[in-house]
Amino acid sequence: MIKVTAPQIDRAIKLLNHIPGAAPKAIFRAINRAADTARTEAARKVRETYYIDYGAILSTIRIRKATNSRLSARVTSRGHATPLYAFRVTPKQISPKRKTPIIVKVKRGEGGPIKRAFVAKIYGMTNIYERVGKKRIPVRTLYGPPIPQMIGNKTVAAWVEQKAVEKLNDRIDHEISRELEAFEG
């Protein structure tokens, strides 16, 4: 969680107190930019650790923006377990007579073959499946970690928070000068 500290708010209020409504406007704009940065940096950092699409990560992240009356933003990620087919899979093609095992890499530098797994298109979904017993049916889909869990990784979360705080500090300075220029100009 990233908090706007009292010195940042006090500085904005002190410099913009002679302009009506300028301090909250500058603060909420800076907070919203920091929230956007947190979303982008989370997706970038997850991709440095895991083999997953950038768009898949962004699709799980939602931002509740700050407003003039509510000076807080919320960046949340919600999602379910990610099918293994969304990660790096070799080979990705459906081949009923394949004898070699499917190789899956979820994390960079890790991964390996999954015995008894196969790629198939069942109910219109191409995925990696595994038979439950010795018979043909039933089969179950194999899953990797959920994207929110990847974002919640300690190194990813710390990196995102650091980048968002840096952006917030930069943007508060920028928004203060912007409001002062608009008032004077």
* Whether residue 110 sits in one domain with residue 58: no
- On whether residue 177 sits in a domain, the answer given is yes
- The answer on pLDDT for 5 being more than 70 is no
- The answer on pLDDT for 2 being more than 60 is no
Instruction: pLDDT band for 39, please (50, 70, 90 cuts).
Output: very high
Domain span at residue 168 reads 6-81+153-184
- On whether residue 115 sits in a domain, the answer given is yes
* Whether residue 14 sits in one domain with residue 57: yes
Q: CB neighbours of 63 closer than 8 A, spacing ≥ 6? A: 32, 35, 36, 39, 73, 74, 75
* Whether residue 54 sits in one domain with residue 29: yes
- The answer on pLDDT for 19 being more than 70 is yes
- On whether residue 148 sits in a domain, the answer given is no
Q: How many domains does the chain have?
A: 2
Question: Strand runs (DSSP E) across 58-179, as ranges?
Answer: 61-64, 74-77, 82-83, 88-90, 102-105, 112-114, 117-122, 125-131, 139-141, 143-144
Closest to 103 (Cα-Cα) out of 26, 166, 51, 40:
51
Query: Could you read off the pLDDT of 103-141 as tens digits, one per residue?
Result: 999 999 898 999 889 999 988 889 999 999 889 889 999
- The answer on pLDDT for 48 being more than 60 is yes
Note the pLDDT of residue 50: 94
Instruction: Give me the mean pLDDT over the 80-96 stretch.
Output: 90
